[in-house]
Amino acid sequence: MSKLKTYASTFLIILSLAFLSGCSFNSEKELVKKQEEWNNLNKNVVSLYKEGSYDKAIQTAHETLNYAKRSFGNKDAKVAVSLNNLAELKRATGKLTEAEAFYKEALKIDEKIYGKEHTDVARDLNNLAVLYRSLMKYDKAEELYNRALSIREKSLGKDHPDVAISLNNLAVLYRAQNKFDKSEALLKRALEIRKKVLGKEHPDVAVSLNNLGELYTVEGKYTQAEPLFKESVFILEKTFGKSHPSILTVLRNMSELYKKSGRVNDATKVEQRALSIISAKQKQT
C-alpha cells in the first residue's frame, strides 16, 4: 500500500484561508478534529491490511473515503489519498477493474488541485501504471511511467531517490517485455542514484543490486548476477541482521540462479538458509 500522508501543507493553507475569512476558533478546532479522525481511520486501514484482514481493510477504506468526502468535500487532496489507498487494496485483492476506477478518480482530483506537473500526480500516475503492468497493458503502463519519471526529474532533480523508483519501475516493465537492454540501462542508473544519494550500503541499494541480478539471471548472465546478489545480501545483513526476512527475496533469487547454472549444491545451501530464517521468524511470532 501507499504510505498514508497527512497533507500538512494543504491543511495549513486551509486554516489560513479560514482565518482570513473570519471563521471562528471553534470552526478551526472542528477542522483539526476531522483531520485527526481521518488520520485515525487511515491508520486502522493500514493495521488491518498488515494483519491480513483484507475484507475489513477494504470496508474501513470505504468508510475513510466517505468520511473524507463528507468532511472535506469531494475534490479535496485527502479524498485523493483515500481513493489511492482503496485502489491499492482492490489491486492487492485482485479487483483490478474497481482499482482502476479509484486510481483514475484520485489522479483527476490531484491534477485539478496541483496541476499536471506535481509530484503527487506522479505518484498517482505510477500507481495506475503498476495496475496496467499487472493487466499486461504495457503501452499504457509505459506512457504513465514515463510521465511520472518526467515530473519527478523536473520537480525533484535527476538524482532524487524518487527518480530512482520511477527508473526501477520502468525497468521492470521493459524486462517483462524482454527489452533487456533498456531495462539494464535504467536499473544501472537507478543503482548509481541510490549509491550517490543514499550511500553504498543503504537497503535501497541492496534492492537495486537484486533487481539487476534478476535481470542478468533471466538473460543467462550468471557470472554477472552472482556478485550482485551477494553484495545485496551483505548490505541487508549489515543493516538488519542475518535473520531478517528482507533477505529472503535475494536468497530465493540466488537459488534460482544456482539451479539454472547447474550448481545444485549451492542452491540447496541457500534454500536451507532461507528456511532457517523463516523458521526463526515463526518462532518469534
Per-residue pLDDT of the chain (285 residues; tens, 9 = 90+): 443 333 232 222 222 222 333 445 568 888 899 999 999 999 999 899 888 899 999 999 999 999 999 999 999 999 999 999 999 999 999 999 999 999 999 999 999 999 999 999 999 999 999 999 999 999 999 999 999 999 999 999 999 999 999 999 999 999 999 999 999 999 999 999 999 999 999 999 999 999 999 999 999 999 999 999 999 999 999 999 998 888 999 999 999 999 999 999 999 999 999 999 988 877 776
Cα 262–chain centre separation:
34
Rg of the chain, C-alpha, whole Å? 22
Predicted pLDDT at 280: 80
Distance between CA atoms of residues 95 and 89, nearest Å: 8
Q: How much is the pLDDT for 26?
A: 63
What pLDDT is stored for residue 283 in this prediction? 73
pTM above 0.85, yes or no: no
List the one residue out of 102, 148, 84, 160 whose CA is nearest residue 122. Answer: 148
**Per the domain annotation, does 282 fall within a domain?**
yes
| CATH number of the domain bearing residue 275 | 1.25.40.10
Residue 24: predicted pLDDT: 53
Q: Which three cell numbers stand for residue 233?
A: 545480501
The runs of H, that is alpha helices, within the chain are: 8-20, 25-51, 54-72, 77-92, 96-114, 119-134, 138-156, 161-176, 180-198, 203-219, 222-240, 248-260, 264-284
Distance CA 165, CA 1 (A): 15
User: How would you class 115 by CB atoms within 10 Å of its CB: exposed for 0-12, middle for 13-18, buried for 19 or more?
Assistant: exposed
What pLDDT is recorded for position 281? Answer: 74
For residue 145, which of 170, 120, 173, 164 has the smallest C-alpha distance? 170
Q: Which residue, 248, 238, 235, is CA-closest to 194? A: 235
Write out the residue range of the structural domain in which residue 249 sits.
190-285
Per DSSP, 220 falls in state: T
The one-letter code for the residue type at 34 is K
CA distance 40 to 33: 11
Specify the residue for cell string 466517505.
66
Structural domain includes residue 275 = yes
Name the DSSP letter for residue 3: P
- The residue among 171, 173, 175, 239 whose CA lies nearest residue 204 is 239
> Is residue 194 domain-resident?
yes
The answer to whether 176 touches 195, Cβ cutoff 8 Å, is: no
Asked if residue 20 is part of any domain, the answer here is no
Give the total number of structural domains in the chain.
Answer: 1
Q: What is the end-to-end Cα distance of the chain in Å, rounded?
A: 23
